[in-house]
């Protein structure tokens, strides 16, 4: 039976942003030691470094609003590539910031983990 990669991508993305918005420290279960995060110009590898970076971001409140979500199978092994665009509402700012984020999800048992995560703010 083949995996519905669009459903997996949608469920993962909603779970990721809900967790990020409520408690970034809880994102560690989604990464592994070989995982890599590129956040703007910083590159980090490993669960500990990735979670420390996300937890140290200089805002108290954040809300992600997804504008687009695209997914594709990324390998015959069941990997999924996910690209998200959207807006961030940070603290009490009135103007949202636009962002793009790409996740490379790897199957592990009956779940997935983030192998690659690339995040960029979109300035226009």
Q: Report the distance separating Cα 7 and Cα 93, nearest Å.
A: 32
Residue 102 has pLDDT above 70, yes or no: yes
CA distances from 11 to 2, 5, 35, 88 (A): 17, 10, 20, 19
Please give the residue range of the domain that contains residue 94: 5-122
Taking alpha carbons only, the member of 15, 8, 10 closest to residue 84 is: 10
Report the CATH number at residue 47: 3.10.450.50
Confidence of residue 1 (pLDDT cuts 50, 70, 90): very low
pLDDT at 92: 83
What total number of domains does the chain contain? 1
Residue 25 has pLDDT above 60, yes or no: yes
Please state which of the ranges 93-97, 101-105, 112-116 shows the lowest mean pLDDT.
Answer: 93-97
pLDDT at 123: 82
Please state which of the ranges 2-6, 9-13, 107-111 shows the lowest mean pLDDT.
Answer: 2-6
97 burial level (CB within 10 Å; 0-12, 13-18, 19+)? middle
Confidence of residue 2 (pLDDT cuts 50, 70, 90): low
pLDDT tens across 35-56, in order? 999 999 999 999 999 999 999 9
pLDDT at 23: 94
39 burial level (CB within 10 Å; 0-12, 13-18, 19+)? middle
pLDDT tens across 74-88, in order? 999 999 999 999 999
């Amino acid at each position: 039976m083949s995996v519905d990669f669009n459903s997996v991508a949608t469920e993962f993305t909603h779970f990721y942003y809900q967790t990020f918005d409520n408690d970034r420290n809880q994102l560690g279960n989604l990464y592994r030691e070989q995982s890599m995060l590129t956040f703007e110009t910083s590159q980090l590898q490993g669960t500990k470094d990735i979670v420390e970076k996300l937890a140290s971001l200089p805002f108290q409140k954040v809300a992600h609003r997804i504008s687009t979500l695209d997914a594709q199978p990324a390998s015959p092994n069941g990997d999924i590539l996910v690209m998200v665009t959207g807006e961030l509402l940070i603290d009490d700012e009135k103007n949202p910031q636009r962002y793009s984020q790409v996740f490379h999800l790897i199957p592990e048992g009956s779940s997935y983990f983030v192998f690659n995560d690339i995040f960029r703010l979109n300035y226009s």
